[in-house]
Structure 1
Amino acid sequence: MANQAIQAPEPAGPVEEHYYRRGDIDFCFLLNRTHLNLRVFDYRVGNYQQKRDFFDRIARSEGLKKVFTVVEKQDSKSWRSVGFSREGAIPGYFRTADAYVMSRVYTDDGDPIQGGAPKLTAPSISATEPNVTKPRGLNVEIVTDQTRLARVVDDFGAAALYAPFRRAVFHPDVAIHGKSGKRDFWIGAETDTSFGHAKVDILTPPRPNKDTDPAILEYLLQATLDELSRRETASVFSLIAADWTPSAQVVANLNFKVSARLTDHIVREDGFVGAQLWHRRITPGASPKLTSVS
């Protein structure tokens, strides 16, 4: 990545945090080499066309499939004017304002896809009654030790398609751990106390033909929501591969709703896959009204 204005304070790894300053352009970005995407943290200064051109060059040189940013409504219009597509929203992400996910998707040759990000389709999920009763033989603990949580991501992150969403810390800062027999279950949360939201991840997705897994994960997810509520978290969201129906069913049963559909957002062995962003408020309060995702 050739540009002397880029600074990468963290050692190179699957996720790299970079800062870029040149002239009146100033921003930070996360380069995720595992999922071949890049998230922009924009400081609202500089020419948007120059920013777009900069990220187009990085996408081509690094073989990225996607560049995206999460911004307020007024800024989404500026990103759209230079070829980014709105893929959905995160209600209440900025506590009193919604966030809009603006994306630019690239071909295998590194060219921006003309006409914007292709529309993602995903199976429809109907919620059923969740399990909120502690399953027999399940031991549960709250984990906040950062070294242990980093190790959990090392052990389970790849299979769970885990992708950090925030700066500085590339693993959950709180998690609920359940153990049933020899099987470990983990629900992690990346919290943001400034804006009162959290990203939650099912780090041990339901296994095929294991009928007991969804009930355990629903119980642990509810325990995670209860813990986040105690921490005065107002809303939560989760990113789940579009075709991972069992995981989607778990969050749907806990009253999460789809608010964004993200094309080619993650990578697994069979190639690029889309993700659905599931959202839920957990603290009572006025929620800005959003246009539904169709």
Structure 2
Amino acid sequence: MAATTLAATTWSPTSSSGVDELLFRNDTVSLCLLVNRRHRTLRIIDFRAGPTPSKRNLVLATARREGVEKIFTLVERDEVPTWTRLGFVREGSIPGFYKRSDAWILGAVVSQMASRVRDEGDGEEDAEGAEDREGSPAVILAERTITRARRLLRESEARPLPAVKLAHASGLDLRRAVAAAQRAGRALTGFEPFGRDAVRTGYVLSARGGFSLHAAWEMQSCFGNSFLELLTSPRSEAERLATTAAIGALCDRLVAERAVSTFTFAPADDVELSAALLANGFRRSAVLARHLVVGRARKDAILWAKKLVAPEA
């Protein structure tokens, strides 16, 4: 019997997006892989359900070839067992991602999964061994960070928030701000695409004292969700209070844009940013192992989420 060939094409949205889209299709596999070059992550979009080891092996081979360190996928609840059987860890969820239902995040560190596959062969993983790991180092770090962030909030609850001004930022403005933040080793993001065919809007927020924060969101209007990104973290109490006010202004604007929910990533050891998000009603909904690169350091991440309004009928 002739070997089945696997067609692959590559599409990069723009030369400066930092994300490449890899498409793989044959009789058994239909995948879109979004490779984030900055964070060295790969998001899997699966168009054909089923826990086939060949799917996992293809993703692993692609990740190694592309220099990726973390792979993850977003699925609805009924698809969670499929991915845990393939060795992915249930890291949490994004509330309201699909408007009236949550998206579950399942991920794996490439080196760890590759080692398990070598040890256990090409069969399906033990589903119990691949479930969420509440005692993992990433989760323990996140819990400690949140505890410290809550303490910060209690200590500064009497401090008023400064007034912030919000203005649109062009793509050029964002790129310049990213370059400056990268040189300083402070960039949390390069405002790369998270999904496919989403609309991205950029802002710059300012306050007295020289505070300036660039931010952007990516929206999927069909679901009402929004992915919110802040370029840098606060470094002091004054910056934290201004960042808290800035996040509030961004959430108000998202509501005006008819977003139902929003979510964002933050380093799992970032106490100041965690406090600013907690002050705006965000909740920890996932902890993602080795998911971000900040400066030259690879970090675990907390996924913070907030329901903005009830979905319309």
The TM-score by the shorter chain falls in which range? Answer: 0.7 to 0.9
Q: Deviation per CA, 1:169-219, whole angstroms, max 9, x where unpaired? A: 799413242153544222322222121111222213112xx3311111111
User: Cα gap change, 1:46/1:150 in structure 2, threshold over 3 Å: closer, same or farther?
Assistant: farther
- Residue 235 (structure 1) aligns with: 261
User: Cα gap change, 1:109/1:260 in structure 2, threshold over 3 Å: closer, same or farther?
Assistant: closer
The CA deviation at 1:39 is 0.6
User: Cα gap change, 1:159/1:153 in structure 2, threshold over 3 Å: closer, same or farther?
Assistant: same
Letter of the 2:263 counterpart: F
- Residue 142 (structure 1) aligns with: 167
- Residue 208 (structure 2) aligns with: 180
Letter of the 2:218 counterpart: E
Which of 80, 84, 97 pairs up with 2:84? 80
- Residue 95 (structure 2) aligns with: 91
Alpha-carbon RMSD across the aligned residues, in angstroms, is: 3.0
User: Cα gap change, 1:252/1:91 in structure 2, threshold over 3 Å: closer, same or farther?
Assistant: same
Q: Deviation per CA, 1:107-136, whole angstroms, max 9, x where unpaired? A: 28953588548622222232544977444x
- Residue 305 (structure 2) aligns with: 279
- Structure 1 CA distance, aligned partners of 2:114 and 2:253? 43
- Structure 2 CA distance, aligned partners of 1:22 and 1:234? 36
Check the 8 A contact 1:179/1:185 in 2, yes or no: no
Greater helix share, structure number:
2
- Structure 1 CA distance, aligned partners of 2:35 and 2:60? 13
The CA deviation at 1:242 is 0.4
The alignment of Structure 1 onto Structure 2 pairs a total of residues equal to 279
- Structure 2 CA distance, aligned partners of 1:33 and 1:230? 32
- Residue 73 (structure 2) aligns with: 69
Check the 8 A contact 1:150/1:171 in 2, yes or no: no
TM-score (norm 1): 0.82
Q: Deviation per CA, 1:121-158, whole angstroms, max 9, x where unpaired? A: 222232544977444xx5x1331534434444444366
SS at 2:68 equivalent = coil
Identity %: 25
- Structure 2 CA distance, aligned partners of 1:24 and 1:283? 40
Runs of 5+ unmatched residues, structure 2: 1-5, 120-128
- Structure 2 CA distance, aligned partners of 1:147 and 1:131? 35
